């Protein structure tokens, strides 16, 4: 998506120094960037109009989807209007004068801990692992603990005056996180678009097949499909799908019309340009 200029307010999962902030700054040329302490709060800020856009993580190439983001998309009034892909590199960070051999506690976001589990296992098999709301928050928390380290960004280390003990500690070299840009205004077609949907079907044999058939017979490519519990009813599920094309493209519009006849519920989450 073409970067957006102008002094607008953009919320992101904070505090400062998170990968989410990096993704927001990658997408927006100029903006007032406002950190929030949870993904839910980023959605709420956009819904209230406190910020014009929000940036939230949606999936990682090695650890899969961010389920809280999917759940928020299901119930929120915002739409997806862009996506950003960001290569993730993790660093082991400590307070000054902390030796690697002294580390007994490692703090980070659950996904960061998961993405570095082999590094931790090899180097700190006895260390206690503690989760935080973000990688940047983990670095902030170091001030409260001795013999501790955090997994986070270089920006977070600089902001908190931490020391990087080891760089690039992620287990997979090709570690990329995808972020959604959310807002209230829909985006027109660019010629290279995706559309994200969520739908539910009757709990009968062949119901999912009949829904996916509307894309197959029209040669519309699915780039993602995932199920999540519906929550209101036990053992019932909703399905999240990303397809290629914009919702106003004639072939996509035709598929969506057919899909609505075969589903209990369909919600278009947004059409947006593919990440560059």
Taking alpha carbons only, the member of 131, 130, 128, 134 closest to residue 159 is 134
DSSP letter (8 states) at residue 63: T
For residue 240, what are the β-bridge partners? 198, 226
Q: Are 73 and 46 in contact (CB under 8 A)?
A: no
Rounded distance, CA 4 to CA 31, Å? 9
Rounded distance, CA 105 to CA 113, Å? 12
Rounded distance, CA 259 to CA 265, Å? 9
Could you tell me the two tokens for 166? 């080891």
Q: Are 243 and 222 in contact (CB under 8 A)?
A: yes
Whether 177 is catalytic is yes
Could you tell me the two tokens for 244? 């290629």
Choose, from 69, 98, 153, 177, the residue flagged as catalytic: 177
SS3 of residue 132 by DSSP: coil
Choose, from 28, 119, 179, 215, the residue flagged as catalytic: 179
Rounded distance, CA 272 to CA 185, Å? 11
For residue 153, what are the β-bridge partners? none
Could you tell me the two tokens for 202? 């009757």
Question: Annotated catalytic sites, by residue?
Answer: 177, 179
């Amino acid at each position: 998506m073409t970067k957006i200029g102008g002094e607008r307010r953009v919320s992101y999962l904070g505090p400062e120094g998170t990968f989410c902030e990096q993704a927001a700054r990658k997408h927006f040329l100029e903006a007032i960037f406002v950190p929030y302490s949870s993904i839910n709060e980023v959605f709420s800020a956009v819904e209230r109009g406190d910020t014009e856009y929000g940036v939230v993580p949606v999936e990682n190439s090695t650890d899969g989807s961010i389920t809280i983001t999917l759940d928020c998309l299901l119930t929120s009034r915002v739409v997806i209007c862009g996506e950003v892909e960001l290569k993730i590199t993790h660093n082991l960070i400590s307070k000054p004068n902390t030796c690697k051999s002294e580390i007994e506690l490692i703090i980070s976001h659950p996904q960061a801990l998961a993405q570095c589990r082999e590094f931790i296992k090899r180097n700190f098999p006895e260390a206690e692992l503690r989760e935080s709301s973000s990688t940047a928050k983990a670095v902030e928390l170091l001030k409260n603990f001795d013999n501790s380290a955090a997994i986070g960004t270089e920006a977070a280390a600089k902001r908190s005056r931490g020391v990087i003990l080891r760089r690039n500690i992620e287990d997979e070299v090709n570690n990329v996180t995808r972020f959604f840009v959310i807002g209230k205004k829909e985006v027109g077609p660019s010629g290279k678009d995706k559309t994200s949907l969520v739908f539910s079907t009757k709990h009968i044999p062949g119901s999912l097949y009949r829904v996916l058939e509307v894309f197959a017979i029209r040669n519309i490519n699915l780039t993602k499909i995932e199920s999540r519990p519906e929550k209101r009813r036990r053992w019932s599920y909703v399905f999240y799908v990303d397809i290629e094309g914009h919702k106003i493209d004639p072939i996509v519009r035709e598929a969506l019309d057919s899909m609505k006849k075969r589903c209990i519920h369909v919600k278009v989450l947004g059409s947006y340009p593919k990440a560059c």
